[in-house]
A and B are shown apart, each in its own frame.
Chain A
Amino acid sequence: LVLSFFDQFLSPTFLGIPLIAVALALPWVMFPALPSQWLPNRQLLLQSWFINRFTQQLLLPLNTGGHKWALLFASLMLFLITLNMLGLLPYTFTPTTQLSLNLGLAVPLWLATVIIGLRNQTTVALGHLLPEGTPTPLIPVLVIIETISLFIRPLALGVRLTANLTAGHLLIQLIATAAFVLLPLMPTVAALTAVLLLLLTLLEVAVAMIQAYVFVLLLSLYLQENI
Chain B
Amino acid sequence: MLSRLVIVSASALKGSGPLGAGLVQASRSLHTTSQSLAPVPPLPETGGKVRHGLFPEELFQLLYPKTGVTGPYMLGTGLLVYLLSKELYVINHETFAAASIGTIIVVGVKKFGPSVAAFADKLNEEKVAKAQEVKDQAISVLTQAIEDEKKEQWRVEGRSMLFDAKRNNVAMLLETNYRERLHMVTTEVKRRLEYQLALQNLHRRMEQEHLVSWVEKNVVSSITPQQEKESIAKCITDLKVLAKASQAQARA
Mutual binders A and B:
yes
- A89 in contact with B101 (CB, 8 Å): yes
- B116 in contact with A90 (CB, 8 Å): no
- Is B92 interfacial (CB 8 A cutoff)? yes
CB neighbours (8 Å) of A207 from chain B are none
Per a CB cutoff under 8 Å, which of B47, B96, B117, B119 touches A176? B96
- Counting residue pairs across A and B whose Cβ atoms lie within 8 Å, the total is 61
CB neighbours (8 Å) of B100 from chain A are 176, 194, 197-198, 200-201
B64 to chain A, nearest CB (A): 28
Complex: A198 Cα to B95 Cα, angstroms = 13
- B117 in contact with A42 (CB, 8 Å): yes
Interface residues of A in 26-72 (CB under 8 A from B): 37-39, 41-42, 45-46, 49
- Is A103 interfacial (CB 8 A cutoff)? no
- B95 in contact with A90 (CB, 8 Å): yes
- B96 in contact with A37 (CB, 8 Å): no
* Contact A180 to B92, CB < 8 A, known contacts A41-B47, A42-B120: yes
- Is A91 interfacial (CB 8 A cutoff)? yes
- A198 in contact with B117 (CB, 8 Å): no
- B92 in contact with A46 (CB, 8 Å): no
* Cβ-closest chain B residue relative to A88: B101
CB neighbours (8 Å) of A179 from chain B are 93, 96
- Is B128 interfacial (CB 8 A cutoff)? yes
- B94 in contact with A197 (CB, 8 Å): no
Complex: A82 Cα to B97 Cα, angstroms = 19
* Cβ-closest chain A residue relative to B117: A42
B37 to chain A, nearest CB (A): 13
CB neighbours (8 Å) of B47 from chain A are 41
* Cβ-closest chain B residue relative to A89: B101
Complex: A202 Cα to B101 Cα, angstroms = 8
Complex: A176 Cα to B119 Cα, angstroms = 36
Complex: A138 Cα to B124 Cα, angstroms = 59
Interface of A is mostly: helix
Chain B interface bracket (under 10, 10 to 19, 20 to 34, 35 or more): 20 to 34
Complex: A81 Cα to B152 Cα, angstroms = 65
B4 to chain A, nearest CB (A): 16
- Is B235 interfacial (CB 8 A cutoff)? no
CB neighbours (8 Å) of A205 from chain B are 104
Complex: A28 Cα to B215 Cα, angstroms = 150
Complex: A121 Cα to B210 Cα, angstroms = 131
* Contact A202 to B104, CB < 8 A, known contacts A39-B124, A49-B123: yes
Complex: A89 Cα to B98 Cα, angstroms = 7
CB neighbours (8 Å) of B188 from chain A are none
- A45 in contact with B124 (CB, 8 Å): yes
Interface residues of A in 156-204 (CB under 8 A from B): 172-173, 176-177, 179-180, 194, 197-198, 200-202
- Is B237 interfacial (CB 8 A cutoff)? no
Per a CB cutoff under 8 Å, which of B97, B119, B124 touches A197? B97
Complex: A201 Cα to B93 Cα, angstroms = 14
- Is B67 interfacial (CB 8 A cutoff)? no
- A45 in contact with B120 (CB, 8 Å): yes
* Cβ-closest chain B residue relative to A196: B100
* Cβ-closest chain A residue relative to B119: A46
* Contact A177 to B120, CB < 8 A, known contacts A39-B128, A88-B101, A89-B101: no
Complex: A205 Cα to B97 Cα, angstroms = 13
Complex: A176 Cα to B100 Cα, angstroms = 9
* Cβ-closest chain B residue relative to A38: B127
B243 to chain A, nearest CB (A): 143
* Cβ-closest chain B residue relative to A90: B98
User: What 1/0 mask marks residues of chain B from 62 to 97 whose CB sits below 8 Å from any chain A CB?
Assistant: 000000000000000000000000000001111111
CB neighbours (8 Å) of A88 from chain B are 101
* Contact A180 to B120, CB < 8 A, known contacts A39-B127, A197-B100: no
Interface residues of B in 104-127 (CB under 8 A from A): 104, 116-117, 119-121, 123-124, 127
Q: Could you list 5 examples of A-B contacts with CB < 8 Å?
A: A89-B101, A173-B97, A180-B92, A197-B96, A197-B100
Contact residues of B with A, CB < 8 Å? 43, 47, 91-101, 103-104, 116-117, 119-121, 123-124, 127-128
